[in-house]
Amino acid sequence: MNHKLGLIGYPLSHTFSPSYFAEKFTKLNIQNSEYLAYSIDEISKITELFSEGVTGLNVTIPYKEQVIPYLDELSDEAKEVGAVNTIKIIDGRRVGYNTDVHGFKVSLLEQLQDTVVERALILGSGGASKAVRYVLDKLGIKNDIVSRREPYLTYGELNVDIINDHKLIVNTTPLGMYPDVDKCPEIPYEALTKKHFLYDLVYNPEKTLFLRNGESAGSNVKNGSDMLMLQAEKSWEIWTDGY
Ligand SMILES: NC(=O)c1ccc[n+]([C@@H]2O[C@H](COP(=O)([O-])OP(=O)(O)OC[C@H]3O[C@@H](n4cnc5c(N)ncnc54)[C@H](OP(=O)(O)O)[C@@H]3O)[C@@H](O)[C@H]2O)c1
């Protein structure tokens, strides 16, 4: 089976997946397969890729929601989350999946180990925030989204009591991502304790300012690199299932 794979998004600078899959193909001696970066400035251009015969795609910012009208079918998870990061084209049918869900769930459970967390704050309300909320709901962890705008809890409303009540804080905003490494979400870091878990979906740099602030307070911290690998492997599993 030849796999003609790729990633769509815009802009696509410093992207991880093409080199990840190139290495994988070399290591496993997978021939006649490719994984390319397609930086498309409008989602409608995805139809050109479909006509060129791609067999699978990953989808990143800003198209995880916009891509849905171009698909024939969604997995149950992608439907419930309302965002797609993986597409498989089989017999001309385009099916959308969300493997961020798997990546976040497995890596979060590894971070929490046996600790039971009752409440979480999710910083940001974009595509990744939806996958994170879906997982937390499934795990029975009550959660509140923090956003720059209503109807959500806003950053200005956060206080020591709210941070105390939410022992898990997940950053789904791009704040602190390279090259803006001196930025971080505006939360009352002074309220963090050893009992807090901070999870940052950002993986570059390895330790964002958000995570470094958590570490200074003795909190348990984790970045997004495990999630990134887990979602990529799950996409590969979907593309190769049945071949
Ligand atoms: N590790 C992984 O596998 C993985 C997977 C998916 C995504 N990610 C990372 O997660 C981040 C978000 O991705 P996404 O797809 O959810 O992007 P997105 O749809 O653009 O959402 C990002 C959200 O962050 C908030 N935000 C954006 N700029 C902000 C700013 N200047 N100040 C405060 N909040 C801001 C916004 O929420 P409000 O408007 O509500 O404030 C926005 O909806 C990216 O850095 C991405 O690389 C990592």
- What are 112-164's pLDDT values in tens digits? 999 999 999 999 999 899 999 999 999 999 999 999 999 999 999 999 999 99
Separation between Cα atoms, residue 167 and residue 218, nearest integer Å: 13
Specify the pLDDT at position 2.
Answer: 84
Residue 68 sits in the same domain as residue 110: no
In this prediction, the residues of the chain whose per-residue pLDDT falls under 70 are 1, 242-243
Domain finish residue from 39, 69, 98? 98
CB of 138 sitting under 6 A from ligand 1 = no
In a domain, 238, yes or no: no
Specify the pLDDT at position 242.
Answer: 66
Specify the pLDDT at position 150.
Answer: 93
Specify the pLDDT at position 15.
Answer: 85
Active site residues: 64
Of 50, 39, 47, the residue nearest 9 (C-alpha): 39
CB of 100 sitting under 6 A from ligand 1 = yes
CB of 20 sitting under 6 A from ligand 1 = no
Of 121, 118, 102, 111, the residue nearest 172 (C-alpha): 121
Residue 170 sits in the same domain as residue 187: yes
CB of 86 sitting under 6 A from ligand 1 = no
Domain finish residue from 98, 114, 130? 98
And the tokens for 122?
Answer: 């999710």
Please report the beta strands in the chain, taking only residues with DSSP state E, as ranges in sequence order.
Answer: 4-9, 34-39, 56-59, 73-74, 86-90, 93-97, 119-123, 142-147, 153-154, 168-171, 197-200, 220-222
Residue 73 sits in the same domain as residue 17: yes
Residue 105 sits in the same domain as residue 56: no
The angle formed by the CA atoms of residues 190, 195 and 201, to the nearest 5 degrees, is 80
In a domain, 197, yes or no: yes
Q: Which residue from 61, 63, 149, 171 has its CB within 8 A of the most atoms of ligand 1, so it is best to mutate?
A: 61
Domain span including residue 25: 4-98
Please report the beta strands in 25-84, taking only residues with DSSP state E, as ranges in sequence order.
Answer: 34-39, 56-59, 73-74
Specify the pLDDT at position 17.
Answer: 93
Q: Beta strand pairing status for 93-97 and 86-90?
A: antiparallel
In angstroms, what is the span from residue 221 Cα to ligand 1's centroid? Answer: 18
Residue 159 sits in the same domain as residue 192: yes
